[in-house]
Amino acid sequence: MSDTPRPPYLARLRIVEAYLRHQLQQVEKWIAEEEAKIERDQARRPLPPPPEWLIEQNLNGRTPVYVHRGDCWNAGKRRRGVDRDQAVRALTEGGVPACPHCRPDTELGLLDEA
């Protein structure tokens, strides 16, 4: 072993503390930089508003299954946004059923709420 005396335990802990503070400051700086990048990206590309109405398609992607409100939690992944007129036509002329969860037929004024 070396004859050099070791610094007291508290002094070694203070050194570790200083090192960790420096590391924490570095991580906080990286987080701030990433948050700034995200803000810049979002400012450049604002998200388009969600469609008001959706038509869900079956597995073949061609046959409509349900008409949904745009915010329906039950709308499947195979869906496309449509305008109000298309949603009304699908429900009245196309024979596409309304989603039983979000009830777009009621929202569109085609049925009275019970």
**Sequence-distant contacts of 53-59: CB under 8 A, at least 24 apart:** 53/81, 53/82, 53/83, 53/84, 53/86, 53/87, 53/104, 54/79, 54/80, 54/81, 54/82, 55/79, 55/80, 55/82, 55/86, 55/87, 55/90, 55/96, 56/99
User: What is the band of 2 on the pLDDT scale with cuts at 50, 70, 90?
Assistant: low
User: What is the band of 114 on the pLDDT scale with cuts at 50, 70, 90?
Assistant: very low
- pTM to 2 decimals? 0.56
